[in-house]
Amino acid sequence: MLVLISSKGLTVTDSNPQAVPRGYAPFGGNCPKTGKPTTFLLSVDKFKSVQRHQPYWKIRAVESLESVLRAPLARLKDLKRDGFQDAYCVTGKPATYHKSNTVCVPFPPGFLLCVIVAWDSRGWLILDWEQRKEDSALPGVPVNGHTDFGEIIWTANSRT
Amino acid sequence: MDSQLADLISEYSLKAFKPVPTYDNDGDFLTFYTEDTDCYSDRIDDTLTLYRHPETEAIVGIKVKGVSKLLADIGPKGVVVKGDGFQLGILFYSWALEKDTSPEDFEILKYLQDSFGTVTAVIGTLADGNYGLSDSNSELV
């Protein structure tokens, strides 16, 4: 059993967790497959790469990954890429958005923060996170969610 | 927030943005942002995603997925990539060759070639005859 200590107190996650692999930072969230608490892994190398070669908003969005994965708006399965049929897109709307190191605004309306995760032998890996336009007819679901992903498995709106 | 992720974030320091193609080993994709600016993802297909500015819709970066397969597919057609630098244009042509290219795709292909085609990337070693990219999240230039 893995117990995470956070500002919210003790959180019990997977009943059969794996050791945290070297070079990855673990944090809590809800399993995209089952909705139950689990642990996600963010590669430290990925973090550093984003820090140097990707936009400022994206590095600051790391601060929102946990909240999105804990309380998503929708979960979609299958990236429709070879080898990533079992990967998931978890969407959410963080409270804030850092345009620069001096400008912090509310998260842009009409957009979603989409966190791409996949399970492998190391655990639930954070593959990427990006902004996508939200489907106005399907709150929490990215535009073209039905075609870009294999299945919309859950939305907060429908509670399915 | 868990302490290790919080520690990672707390170590964050602002560094000058450097537009360089980077490869993500876990996701087998390459990203290249040309500007440090707001952007959203516009998925073209299972291989190509464009990063667009939310107000101007200008393309400010690209994401190419399935890089290993793209390089492996283009190899038999006479293009050799062996750990040395290669131009992103190779990926774009491989993308166009593997699909039923529409007129819109040709427009995208031309734009990509003109804008990013000569950007040079470097990948690591080959593995088992495949175009394996050895270094996780390696810097490609």
pLDDT in tens, A60-118: 999 999 999 999 999 999 999 989 999 999 999 999 999 888 899 999 999 999 999 99
Residues of B in contact with A131 (CB under 8 A): 39-41, 54
Nearest to A41 by CA among B60, B136, B138, B43: B136
Task: Report CA-CA distances (Å) from B110 to B63, B89, B103, B114.
Answer: 16, 10, 11, 6
| Smallest CA–CA distance from A113 into chain B, residue | B40
Dump pLDDT digits (tens) for A83-98: 999 999 999 999 999 9
Q: B72-91: buried (b, 16+ CB within 10 Å) or exposed (e) per residue? A: bbbbeeeeebeeeebbbbbb
Strand pairing partners for A94? Answer: none
Dump pLDDT digits (tens) for A20-52: 888 999 999 999 999 999 999 999 989 988 988
Instruction: Please name the residues in contact with B62: beta carbons below 8 A apart, sequence gap of 6 or more.
Output: B31, B32, B48, B49, B50, B51, B88, B112, B116
Statement: residue B139 has pLDDT above 70? no
Instruction: Please name the residues in contact with B120: beta carbons below 8 A apart, sequence gap of 6 or more.
Output: B85, B86, B87, B88, B141
The three-class DSSP label of residue B41 is strand
Task: Report CA-CA distances (Å) from A157 to A128, A139, A154, A160, B49.
Answer: 24, 7, 9, 8, 27
Spacing of C-alpha A49 from chain mean position: 18
In what helix (H) or strand (E) does residue A148 lie, and over which residues does it extend? Answer: helix A145-148
| Smallest CA–CA distance from A7 into chain B, residue | B1
Tell me which amino acid residue A133 is. K
**At CB < 8 A and 24+ separation, what contacts does A111-114 make?**
A111/B40, A111/B54, A112/A73, A112/A140, A112/A142, A113/A61, A113/A64, A113/A68, A114/A89, A114/A90, A114/A142, A114/B41
Judged by CB atoms closer than 8 Å, whether chains meet at B2 and A148 is answered as no
Distance CA B141, CA B20 (A): 7
Instruction: Among A54, A108, A132, select the one facing B33 at the smallest CB separation.
Output: A54
User: Do A62 and A47 touch, CB atoms closer than 8 A?
Assistant: yes
pLDDT at A132 (0 to 100): 98
Residues of A in contact with B41 (CB under 8 A): 114, 130-132
pLDDT at B140 (0 to 100): 46
The token pair at A53 is: 């070669």
Statement: residue A160 has pLDDT above 80? no
Phi/psi of residue A65, nearest 5 degrees: -60, -45
| Residue B22, CA atoms < 13 Å, CB-side half-sphere | 25
- Stretch B35-56: mean pLDDT, rounded? 95
The ipTM estimated for the assembled molecules is 0.86
The token pair at B76 is: 């038999």
Residues of A in contact with B34 (CB under 8 A): none
pLDDT at A157 (0 to 100): 81
| Smallest CA–CA distance from B12 into chain A, residue | A51
Q: Give CA torsion, residues A126, A128, A134, A135, to 10 deg.
A: -80
Distance CA A74, CA A70 (A): 11
Statement: residue B128 has pLDDT above 50? no
Please return the burial class of A66, using the count of CB atoms within 10 Å of its CB with bins 0-12, 13-18 and 19+. buried
Percent of chain B with pLDDT strictly greater than 90:
27
